[in-house]
């Protein structure tokens, strides 16, 4: 069984996730893994740079501040970001569930 925890900022998703971890359930944190993938996945990095430019990575590290400056400036940028990152996170989650360690994207 897979359970998804959703909700707005401050709604307690992290608390519920931590309780589940303490009870021994595996928890896949989409936000944390999206950030990890944006730093570690070469394919994802290439897709993001192609869409948002080389300023997205500063000295090899993901530049979240730059992304926020463009992501919230236009709805289309947020939609493009989600269209690139969400499939990578989904593939990573599936790979981890199959025991393949992730970074499937």
pTM (predicted TM-score): 0.79
| pLDDT more than 70, % of the chain | 94
Report whether pLDDT(102) > 70. no
Instruction: State the Cα–Cα distance between residues 42 and 51, nearest whole angstrom.
Output: 14
**pLDDT for 54-72, tens place per residue?**
999 988 888 989 988 887 7
Q: State mean pLDDT over 16-39.
A: 90
| CA Rg value for the chain | 15
Quick one: tokens of 41? Answer: 């996945």
pLDDT for the residue 71: 74
CA-based angle 25:87:79, to the nearest 5? 120
Report whether pLDDT(41) > 90. yes
Q: State mean pLDDT over 75-85.
A: 89
């Amino acid at each position: 069984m897979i359970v998804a925890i959703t909700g707005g900022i401050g709604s307690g998703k992290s608390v519920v996730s931590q309780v589940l971890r303490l009870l021994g359930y595996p928890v896949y944190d989409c936000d944390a893994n999206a950030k990890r993938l944006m730093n570690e996945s070469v394919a994802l990095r290439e897709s993001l740079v192609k869409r948002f430019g080389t300023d997205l990575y500063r000295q090899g590290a993901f530049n979240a501040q730059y992304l926020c400056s463009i992501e919230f400036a236009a709805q289309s940028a947020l939609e493009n970001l989600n269209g690139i990152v969400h499939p990578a996170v989904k593939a990573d989650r599936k790979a981890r569930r199959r025991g393949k360690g992730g970074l499937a994207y």
